[in-house]
């Protein structure tokens, strides 16, 4: 990694730590440069302002979530694939408690631009969930219904689970959490067996798009 990228990553990492400790709203650029051990002028060589560094942190975090989730193959057992996806998302949050704290606990309503970016993050997650549910319905592994309402329901529950998982005063058994989450999905969201015709139907639909 080039020296410039090393320094940029250093500032990003320290900014995340500062935002997590102080809260985005209370944090100052001076706090970030002090934590990063760089001059204020150096900060501005890489970022325009506090908001721009927050934008990049959130965008990178969403990208990590998106690439952690794999498409479901109905020719293979469904349960292990879904539990693997749930576990992967929990791992993303668990491996970066600083970003988890910022995303899950910083207050909305104090800064318009902060609100816009955080709400956009959740809109991106909702879109990812909605797309997955739509594909699941086409594959026959998700019950019919309004996928957006279901996405809202799942996202709300997921946020609370993540909050407990990343901020519990005592360690949480992640494997048990994943098992319980899958049990809930299997009783209310997932069908017992996929429709064998659906995989071909989805491929044909994708080819026409």
pLDDT beyond 70 at 162: yes
Question: For 37-56, how does the pLDDT look when each residue is reduced to its tens digit (9 = 90+)?
Answer: 999 999 999 999 999 999 99
Cβ neighbours, 10 Å, residue 85: 18
Of the candidates 25, 31, 32, the one whose C-alpha atom is nearest the C-alpha of residue 11 is: 32
Q: Two tokens at 206?
A: 């994708």
Question: Taking a C-beta distance cutoff of 8 angstroms, is the pair 147, 118 a contact?
Answer: no
The pLDDT of 107-112, averaged and rounded, is: 78
pLDDT beyond 70 at 207: no
Query: Please, where in the chain does CATH 1.10.10.60 lie?
Result: 1-47
CATH class of 1-47: mainly alpha
Question: Taking a C-beta distance cutoff of 8 angstroms, is the pair 117, 58 a contact?
Answer: yes
- Pairwise CA distance, residues 29 & 40, whole Å: 8
Phi, psi of 142 (to 5 degrees): -125, 135
Query: Please, where in the chain does CATH 1.10.357.10 lie?
Result: 50-204
Q: Which CATH superfamily is domain 50-204 in?
A: Tetracycline Repressor, domain 2 (1.10.357.10)
> Of the given ranges (167-176, 177-186, 198-207), which has the lowest mean pLDDT?
198-207
Question: Taking a C-beta distance cutoff of 8 angstroms, is the pair 36, 10 a contact?
Answer: yes
pLDDT beyond 70 at 149: yes
Burial of 27: CB neighbours in 10 Å, binned 0-12, 13-18, 19+: buried
23, containing H or E segment? none
> With bands split at pLDDT 50, 70 and 90, how would you rate the model's confidence at 72?
confident
- In a 13 Å sphere around the CA of 76, the CA atoms on its Cβ side amount to 8
> With bands split at pLDDT 50, 70 and 90, how would you rate the model's confidence at 200?
very low
- In the numeric block, the tokens 């798009």 are attached to 209
């Amino acid at each position: 990694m080039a020296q410039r990228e090393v320094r940029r990553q250093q500032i990003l990492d320290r900014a995340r730590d500062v935002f997590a400790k102080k809260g985005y709203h209370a944090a100052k650029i001076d706090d970030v440069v002090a934590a990063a051990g760089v001059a204020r002028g150096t900060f501005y060589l890489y970022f325009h302002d506090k908001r721009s560094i927050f934008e990049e942190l959130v965008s990178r975090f969403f990208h990590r979530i998106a690439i952690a989730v794999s498409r479901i193959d109905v020719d293979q057992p469904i349960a292990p694939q879904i539990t693997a996806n749930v576990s992967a998302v929990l791992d993303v949050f668990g491996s970066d408690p600083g970003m988890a704290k910022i995303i899950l606990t910083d207050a909305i309503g104090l800064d318009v631009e902060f609100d816009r970016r955080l709400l956009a993050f959740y809109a991106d997650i909702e879109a990812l969930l909605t797309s997955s549910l739509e594909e699941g319905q086409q594959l026959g592994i998700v019950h019919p219904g309004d996928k957006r309402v279901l996405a809202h329901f799942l996202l709300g529950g997921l946020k609370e689970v993540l909050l407990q998982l990343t901020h519990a005063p005592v360690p949480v058994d992640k494997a048990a959490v994943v098992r319980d989450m899958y049990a809930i999905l299997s009783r209310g969201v997932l069908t017992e067996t996929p429709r064998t015709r659906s995989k071909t139907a989805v491929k044909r639909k994708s080819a026409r798009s």
